[in-house]
Structure 1
Amino acid sequence: MNEKPNHFMSKLKELEITLYPPPLPGGTYDSVNIRNHVAFVAIQFPIRADQYLYVGRLGNKLSSKEGYQAAQLAAKNILSQIHQYVGFEKVAGLNHLDIYYQAHEDWDEGPFVADGASELFLKVLEEKGRHTRSIFGVHKLPRNFCVGITASFSLIS
């Protein structure tokens, strides 16, 4: 069943979620690449209106709750990329998320932080937001962001 584009915009409004203009790529690549009815969204970070937010290591400078909020913001940027370059009406569903985080060596709450993104997609996209995910602890992320997320979406043919 195809959703009208306004359905998702209405859902965002109902949830009081604002989508800001999507961040520009940080290098020579596309923010969204479509191949064979799949949209791949390049890594998104917690950036809002060109401001770098949630920088530092989880469990050190940033709390797990702040990491959850950072993942939500990165997920909002993914939605913003889809809105601008694909259109919600063309989305069949979210397939997979790769969620990267940088943390203090003793910190181990990656699944909680990742839920910030997963729960947002389920709230906004409803059944179309069901997905698989992988979570990776990494030594360093660009600009010292605490999280970064890539996504893939199936598109309606």
Structure 2
Amino acid sequence: MNTVKHKIIEALTELGLTLPDAPKPGGSYVSVNVRGTVAYVAIQFPIQGDTYLYTGKFGKDLSIQDGYDAARLCALNTLAQIDKYIGFENILGLNHMDLYYQAAEGWDEGPLVANGASELFAYALDSAGIHSRAILGVQSLPRNFSVGITTSFTLIHSSI
């Protein structure tokens, strides 16, 4: 195991987490698309194995803590995609994250949900995990997932 991956696995272990197998795409697209020195990771949902977790709407079916945990799982799945298709040693850092969430009318705690992913990226990737983000409330998400994230990473080389 390379040194970069070892540090990330160690950080996840400190949090009581393990790097999962990368979820398969749910349609006709690729999980990671590389253009030049940027890798775009397709939307990741709170999926564990073949199980869909954290379905429903915040403020109705799910709590803020559920959202935090769901976003953290999305971030773990993102890291699994990077590990499988890019390799941690090939990334310079996380650029940006978009978080999409579905909620009951009037619920407005998206930033607290997004922190689940943002904090995991920052902890696992150290300074390479610091990023900008956008938080978007949507009417619905596929399979009634409560949250999903998309990300982009800068690569060290464009020949990945």
Q: Tell me if TM exceeds 0.5.
A: yes
> More displaced, 3-12 or 57-66?
3-12
8 Å CA contact 2:9, 2:18 repeated in 1: no
Corresponding residue for residue 145 of structure 2: 145
Corresponding residue for residue 44 of structure 1: 44
Partner Cα separation in structure 1 for residue 14 and residue 53 of structure 2: 25
Structure 1 unpaired stretches of 5+ = none
Corresponding residue for residue 32 of structure 1: 32
Partner Cα separation in structure 2 for residue 58 and residue 116 of structure 1: 14
Percent of aligned positions that are identical: 57
Shift, 1:8, TM fit: 2.0
* 1:58 correspondence with 2:58: yes
* 1:93 correspondence with 2:78: no
Corresponding residue for residue 82 of structure 1: 82
Partner Cα separation in structure 2 for residue 4 and residue 75 of structure 1: 17
Which 4+ stretches in 1 moved above 6 angstroms? none
What is the TM-score normalised by the length of structure 1? 0.95
What is the TM-score normalised by the length of structure 2? 0.93
Structure 2 unpaired stretches of 5+ = none
* 1:72 correspondence with 2:57: no
8 Å CA contact 2:59, 2:107 repeated in 1: yes
Shift, 1:130, TM fit: 0.5
